[in-house]
Amino acid sequence: MTALTLLDLLPAAARVVGGNVFWDGQQLLGNGKSQLSKLRGRHIAMIFQNAVSALNPVFRIGAQISDIIRTHLPMSRKAARQKALALFEQVGLNRPAQIFAAYPHQLSGGMSQRVMIAIALSCHAELIIADEPTTALDKTTQVQILRLLKRLQQEQRFGLMLISHDIGWVSAMADTVAVMKSGAFVEQGPAARILQNPAHSYTKMLLESVVSLPESGSKKKLLVGQGSDA
């Protein structure tokens, strides 16, 4: 809900009763949908929790990504198509031309998530919000998607806000961690400090809910399991 508030994507029944959201010195809350529409996709992009439902089922994949590209970047239809195909290859999608012509229901969950990542990357956003990006995927695909996100973030240097209940993924991905309980931040700081020496009792409880397993041929440990509201 907090991340959806940043881009004014809350459901109709929800409303913001206080607080401020600033982007590059500009107040976002109450600034009008037209101003936010210029930011969404171009400067701040979002990878939604369920990519299959986030994609419009009645439009082909190519039309959806091309529309976003041409809305924010001065490109012809042909140039937008070429950019989309290159993005599909970049996120590891085989047969990009077939993906471009496909409808969402013709893709697997992992393929849909990769399409969502390509859309998020399409306009060179400075911040990408990844809202539980692997929830609906099997464990193998989860690993592939998170490794892809981490590699792309390191290569392209965009800010990545990862929302996750899985402490294992948080420990593998994050430089800075903020822990939320009942909609409020209870602790935040460098990931190493939060995960190794938590100050708040709720954070300690989350960490106690996971299991440490030794990696094969290594003394390193991997946190496995799920917490809540992290």
Provide the pLDDT for residue 183.
82
Q: Does 43 score more than 70 pLDDT?
A: yes
Least confident of 8-12, 196-200, 211-215: 211-215
Domain ranges of the chain: 1-35, 36-224
The pLDDT tens digits for 23-34 are: 888 887 776 666
DSSP at 215: P
Give the mean pLDDT of 205-229: 53
Quick check: 111 and 102 in contact, CB under 8 A? Answer: no
Helix intervals (H) in the chain: 2-6, 33-39, 51-54, 61-72, 77-90, 96-101, 109-121, 139-156, 167-173, 191-196, 201-208
Q: Which residues pair with 180 in a beta bridge?
A: 185
**Dihedral, CA atoms, 201, 203, 206, 212, nearest 10 degrees?**
-110
Provide the pLDDT for residue 217.
46
Q: Which residues are within 8 A (CB) of 36 and not within 5 positions of it... i.e. 6 or more apart?
A: 7, 8, 28
Provide the pLDDT for residue 228.
40
The pLDDT tens digits for 122-146 are: 999 999 999 888 877 888 888 898 8
Q: Which residue has the tokens 């993906």?
A: 99
Superfamily of domain 36-224: P-loop containing nucleotide triphosphate hydrolases (3.40.50.300)
The pLDDT confidence band at residue 212, using thresholds 50, 70 and 90, is low
The pLDDT tens digits for 84-126 are: 999 999 999 999 999 999 999 999 989 999 999 999 999 999 9
Rank 4-13, 48-57, 111-120 by mean pLDDT and report only the highest: 111-120
User: What is residue 60's three-state secondary structure?
Assistant: coil
Q: Which residues are within 8 A (CB) of 215 and not within 5 positions of it... i.e. 6 or more apart?
A: 221, 222
Provide the pLDDT for residue 227.
41
Quick check: 19 and 29 in contact, CB under 8 A? Answer: yes
Structure tokens at 61: 């994949």
The pLDDT tens digits for 169-201 are: 888 889 999 999 988 899 999 999 998 999 999
Provide the pLDDT for residue 211.
57
% of the chain beyond a pLDDT of 90? 52
Strand 184-190 and strand 176-181: pairing?
antiparallel
Alpha-carbon span 121 to 98, nearest angstrom: 20
Strand 44-47 and strand 127-131: pairing?
parallel
Strand 211-214 and strand 184-190: pairing?
unpaired
Alpha-carbon span 26 to 210, nearest angstrom: 40
Give the mean pLDDT of 54-59: 94
Quick check: 91 and 148 in contact, CB under 8 A? Answer: yes
pTM of the model: 0.83
